[in-house]
Amino acid sequence: MEIETVGIVGAGQMGNGIAHVFALAGYQVTMNDLSEENLAEAMALIDKNLSRQVSRDKIDETTKTAALARISTTTTLTDLGSSDLIIEAATERETIKNAIFAELQPHLKPTTILTSNTSSISITRLASRTDRPEKFMGFHFMNPVPVMQLVELIRGIATDETTYKTLLNVVERIGKTAASAEDFPAFIVNRILMPMINEAVYTLYEGVGNVRSIDESMKLGANHPMGPLELADFIGLDTCLAIMNVLHDGLADTKYRPCPLLTKYVEAGWLGRKTHRGFYDYRGETPVPTR
């Protein structure tokens, strides 16, 4: 089927980035969030990020204006019901995601494709709670969405071939590259990335190195653009912990046990950049390691 209208649930870090790339690719986008304030902040950020692309000669001012005009916002979730494609990008909690799909369901067109931007939750299980498991997929974008080229496409056990091929075409139209993943905990990227971050936290926890030495070692010794602890702060330590718990619970292997220090930071509310403290303290002019 042809996708022209896209509904996005959630105007946070991921949702506004997804709205940005879809509007830029010519789709009509409706972005939903719980408050007008969140939506206003999201639109301001999209405007800022599009302006950055203009300044770098990646797009022109006319293209920016047209993209912004394609995005509308609403605090009423059911307004998304008439969309051809819905992308859920809400909090990484299964109960919340199930409630969103349940509220949307009576208002959907028969042809609407449902997707979740979940980074780790079972697509098969999410799909089974809806009336269209054959038209349900995992649609996992990387952060920051306008910059990162990969999109993981995850088929649930019931996803049909038409839905999969439709989303492959969508990924191509927005200028990204698709990686097809099977529906196992954390899929591909986070199945590999999160245990590395968790091991870096264990390295800190056991006193093998401090925050700065661990990050510098991986940047200079493995040519990573960002150290694992710096990256954890960027992603959000609560998100890292949630994904490690999904891996640990879903695969029942002790190698995925979340480091107690990661749990401690989350309990303290030190979640990284978004709370201004994590493995680094961001409250000053330059980030300072907290250990």
User: Is 82 designated active site?
Assistant: no
| Three-state secondary structure call for residue 115 | strand
Residue 60 known to bind ligand:
no
Residue 12 counted as an annotated binding residue: yes
Nearest to 102 by CA among 139, 82, 128, 71: 128
Residue 200 assigned to a binding site: no
> Is 213 labelled a binding residue?
no
Q: Answer yes or no: is 172 a known binding residue.
A: no
Judge whether 92 is annotated as a binding position.
yes
Rounded CA separation 186/250 (Å) = 9
Strands 288-289, 280-281: pairing is: antiparallel
User: Is 98 known to be catalytic?
Assistant: no
Which one of the listed residues 38, 83, 140, 198 is annotated catalytic?
A: 140
Selection from 103, 194, 108, 117 nearest residue 148 by Cα: 117
Task: Judge residue 144's burial from the number of C-beta atoms within 10 Å of its C-beta, 0-12 exposed, 13-18 middle, 19 or more buried.
Answer: middle
Distance CA 3, CA 138 (A): 17
- Residue 138 assigned as binding residue: no
Out of 119, 120, 122, 198, pick the active-site residue.
119
Q: Confirm or deny that 32 is annotated as ligand binding.
A: no
- 119 catalytic? Reply is yes
Q: Which residue has the tokens 């640990």?
A: 248
284 in a known ligand binding site: no
Q: Partners of 288 in the beta sheet? A: 281
Q: Is 199 a catalytic residue?
A: no
Sign of the alpha-carbon dihedral angle for 38, 41, 45, 47: positive
Q: How many Å apart are CA 214 and CA 204, to the nearest integer?
A: 8
Catalytic residue among 16, 83, 120, 190: 190
128 is in an annotated binding site: no
149 known member of a binding site: no
Please pick, among 32, 83, 117, 152, the residue that the annotation labels catalytic.
Answer: 152
Catalytic residues: 119, 140, 152, 190
Annotated binding site for NAD(+): 10-15, 33, 92, 97, 119, 143, 274
